[in-house]
Amino acid sequence: MKKHLHILVCISFILFSQNSIANDNSPLSKKNQSPNGFQMLSSFLITASGNLADGNRVVFAPQFSNAVDGYDAMKMTNPGENFGLFRDNKLLAVEARQPLKAGDTIYYRMSNTVDQTYQLVIVPGDLDGAPVKGTLIDRYANTRTEISLLDTNKVNIGVTSDPDSKANNRLMLVFSQAGPLPIKFSGINAVNEANKCVSINWTVEDETGTDHYEVERSSDGVYYKALNAVNTKYKNLQGGIYSYRDLTPLKSVNFYRIKSYGTDGKVFYSNIAKTTLLQITTGVTIFPNPVKGNTIKLQFNQADKGMYRVMIANTMGQQVLKSSINVNESNYLYNLNMGNSIIPGNYILSLIDQSGSITTQSLIVQ
C-alpha cells in the first residue's frame, strides 16, 4: 500500500504539471479538482518566456505523516532552475503530510535562478473545505500575499543581480486560522534612530476584540523572538498608532512584526518591516527620525572630507528635495532645512559621497 501510494503521488505530479500549467483552460484550473482524489497544493515556477522551469507538490491525507518518510519523493536537482520543498533537511519534489491546519508552513527552495521576472503559479486541488487561509511570504521583496485555496494563484517573483533575490529560502507559504481578523493592521515600519536604536511603529484601524500586542524580531525573516508586550489603548473601531523602541537591535538586518492576541485567544500577525545597519554611510548618522519640524541633522564622524549630495524622495519615487553638503571637517554636523514643501509622510533619504557611492535611509516626517 505504501509503495502504491508513493508511485501514485509521483505519477499524478508529472501528469498534473504537464496539463494544468501548459493550458490555463485545463479542467483542474476550472473545477479545482485533484486527479487522484487527494487534497493537494501544486506550485510551479514559470520563466519570463512562459516556459515551465520546475515545480513541486504537497499532498494532504490522514494516512500521511509530517515527517519525511517513504511517502515523500526526494527531488533530483537539474542543471536549470530548481524549485523544490524543504523538510527535515531534505529536498523534496513531492511532500505527503497530514491534512492542513493553522500553523502549518510549506518551505520552498529555489536554486539556479537567473535575472528575470518569474511567475509563481500555485494551484490548489480539493482544498476548498480546508479550515485555513494561506499567505505567501517573500522575504526578499518583504511582501505577504494571500493565497486562494479555491482558484489558481499567480505571483510575480523578480530575480535580479542582487544575491539576496536568489536566496534559496526566499519563499514560504504559511497557513493561519480562516475567518475575519479581529484587528486590521494598516501599516508598520521600522526606523533607525541616531542613538543606535530602532523605532517600530504600527497603525491599526480596528482594535475591537484585541487583548494586547507583542513586538517580535528576527534576523532572517523566518524565526522570530518576542521583544516586548504592548497593551491596547484604543479598544474601538477607529484604532490608532503604536510605537516601540528596540534599544538593542541586531548589528545586521532586523525584521520586525506585530503579533496580535485576541480576547478569544486567536493570534494574528502584521506585515513585516525590515531595517538594515543603523548608519546610512560610514561615519554618518541622521536624526531625529521621525522628523518633527523642518530640520534634519546629519552627523559626520571621522568621515572623508568632500562634497556630499542629499536627495529625498517620496514613496512614489518622486524627488522632493535636493541639496549639497561640503564637509570640510572629519567631525561635522550639518542642519538640513527641508523648508515647508515636504508634507508629513514616509520618505527615502539618499546620501551620495564624492566617489558616487549611494546609501539610503527611511525617513518619517511628522
Average pLDDT over residues 268-297: 76
Of 275, 307, 338, which marks where a domain is finished?
A: 275
Q: How many domains does the chain have?
A: 3
Q: For the chain, what is the radius of gyration of the CA atoms?
A: 24
Query: 77 with 162, same domain?
Result: yes
Query: 260 with 309, same domain?
Result: no
Edge-to-edge, what's the strand order for the sheet holding 240-246? 184-192, 198-206, 240-246
Q: Which of 339, 334, 274 is nearest to 312 (CA)?
A: 339
pLDDT one-digit tens code per residue, 321-353: 888 999 888 778 889 888 877 888 888 888 877
Q: Is the pLDDT of residue 143 over 80?
A: yes
Query: 293 with 269, same domain?
Result: no
Query: 159 with 52, same domain?
Result: yes
Query: 222 with 298, same domain?
Result: no
pLDDT band for position 236 (cuts 50, 70, 90): low
Of 246, 275, 304, which marks where a domain is finished?
A: 275
User: Residue written as cell 483542474?
Assistant: 28
Write the CATH number for 271: 2.60.40.10
Query: 59 with 157, same domain?
Result: yes
In this structure, the number of other CB atoms found within 10 A of the CB of residue 119 comes to 15
Query: 43 with 171, same domain?
Result: yes
What's the confidence (pLDDT) of residue 93? Answer: 93
**Enclosing domain of residue 209:** 184-275
Write the CATH number for 313: 2.60.40.1220
Query: 314 with 338, same domain?
Result: yes
Query: 161 with 213, same domain?
Result: no
Q: Which helix (H) or strand (E) element contains residue 61?
A: none
